[in-house]
Every structure is written in C-alpha cells, then in structure tokens.
C-alpha cells in the first residue's frame, strides 16, 4: 500500500512541476529574490505587466486604510509590505517613478497597479498597460 502511495505522490509531483514550468513560460511575473548573510530572503526585483487605477477608485479606501488619491504616487502590489518604496521603470520609454505601496493587487496577469499620476509620469496612460520592472526604491 505504501508503495502505491509513493508512486502516486511522485506522479503528482511530476505533473504539478511540469504545469508550474509551463505557467512560468507563458508570461507570469518574474521575481528575483536573494538571500542575505543571515539566511533571510530579500526581494531584489520583479518584471511584468503594469496597469493603472481609473478615476472611479479615487477617494475609496486602500488596503492600508488610507484614501486612494489618483494624484499621489502610489501603487497596489500583491505581497510587498505597505509603505514600501518601489522604483518602477518602463523600459519602452526609459522613464521611472518611485511609488509607495498602499493597496493590494489580486491579479495573475499584472504585477502592479499604479495611480494615474504614476502612470502619467511613466507615459503609459494612453496604452493603459505597460511592461515594467520593479526594484526596491
């Protein structure tokens, strides 16, 4: 019985491993993490698709409790701590902006949602989406 369980476990692991490699090959965000001397992980960057909040979100509560202001340089990210400063670069234009994480993002297709002011500074308002890189700011 244990033999069959072990075979099933290995087969499941193999299938899931193949699916995760396939998913990463189809445009999922790339995260880079390094280890410090103490062994703890530290985030060193991420690349992927960015979008920006529409005017309908202006004045609503963000996940950190503040009111969203489309004129502020803020952003939503899936897991970075609130208050984290992030340098966002749009390689297509060469422009950069430093934003503060104030909200959460729940998307498999985007790594960050920017405020309107941040998107304007990057020059991506007309397109609505852009491929960006994030590094600690």
- Domain with 51, as residue range(s), is 29-136
- Domain assignment present for residue 1? The answer is no
Model confidence pLDDT, tens digit, residues 20-75: 433 444 444 556 555 444 444 578 899 999 999 888 889 999 999 999 999 999 99
- Domain assignment present for residue 65? The answer is yes
Q: Which residues make Cβ contacts (< 8 Å) with residue 52, sequence separation at least 6?
A: 113, 114, 115, 116, 118, 119, 124, 125, 128
- Domain assignment present for residue 13? The answer is no
- Domain assignment present for residue 77? The answer is yes
Distance from C-alpha of 118 to C-alpha of 13, rounded to nearest angstrom: 42
pLDDT at position 19 is: 39
- Domain assignment present for residue 87? The answer is yes
| The pLDDT of residue 118 is above 90 | yes
Q: Are 88 and 118 in contact (CB under 8 A)?
A: yes
pLDDT at position 5 is: 44
| The pLDDT of residue 86 is above 80 | yes
| The pLDDT of residue 120 is above 50 | yes
Number of domains composing the chain: 1
- Domain assignment present for residue 17? The answer is no
Higher pLDDT, 41 or 106: 106
Please state whether the predicted TM-score (pTM) of the whole model is above 0.75. Answer: no
* Alpha-carbon distance values, 47 to 53, 60, 79, 101, 125 (Å): 19, 28, 14, 16, 19
The DSSP output letter for 14 is H
Percentage of the chain lying above the pLDDT 90 cut: 63
pLDDT at position 41 is: 57
Q: State the CATH number of the domain containing residue 84.
A: 2.40.40.10
Q: Are 82 and 110 in contact (CB under 8 A)?
A: no
- Domain assignment present for residue 68? The answer is yes
- Domain assignment present for residue 73? The answer is yes
């Amino acid at each position: 019985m244990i033999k069959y369980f072990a075979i099933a476990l290995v087969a499941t692991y193999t299938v899931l491993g193949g699916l995760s490699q396939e998913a990463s090959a189809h445009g999922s965000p790339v995260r880079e993490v390094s280890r410090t001397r103490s062994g703890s992980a530290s985030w060193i960057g991420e690349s992927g698709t960015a979008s920006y909040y529409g005017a309908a979100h202006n004045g609503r509560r963000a996940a950190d409790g503040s009111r969203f202001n489309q004129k502020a340089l803020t952003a939503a990210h899936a897991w970075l701590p609130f208050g984290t400063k992030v340098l966002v670069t749009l390689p297509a234009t060469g422009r950069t902006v430093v934003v503060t994480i104030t909200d959460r993002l729940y998307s498999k297709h985007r790594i960050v949602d920017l405020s309107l002011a941040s998107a304007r500074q990057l020059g991506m308002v007309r397109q609505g989406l852009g491929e960006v890189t994030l590094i600690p700011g």
